[in-house]
Structure 1
């Protein structure tokens, strides 16, 4: 499982997450990340909001309920053995 480091703009603090899956929907890139490799770990769906040509990707937590449910359904299909609870 790939591990990536995120730096929060507002605090400058860094945290590492494991990337479970990545998908592209309607031209937007989404990643499903977790802070642990354990079975019942917390996960987040992040959306890449960077612009083409940016040196680094910028991700934001998906908080729109409709978008979140739709993307979660796609990730559940991609990862057949994973149930995402909201």
Structure 2
């Protein structure tokens, strides 16, 4: 599991991941515990995939994510540069 680093919101010490549970295909709940023994705060972080920056070459039909507005605008500009298809 890759580590997403969080600080304790109370004492600002580094927190460690204790558990991570997939809730949906695009969302996880990650439980962190503060490393400061004088604090000991345990908290949950929700990590969610919010948008697509580069489309998958193996898309899952059960995953519906919006394309980033910046990427969408770039794709539209690229389409404007394409020559028109010959008419039949």
Q: What TM-score do the two structures reach when normalised by structure 2? A: 0.36
In our comparison, the structure showing a higher alpha carbon Rg is 2
Query: Which one has the bigger strand percentage?
Result: 1
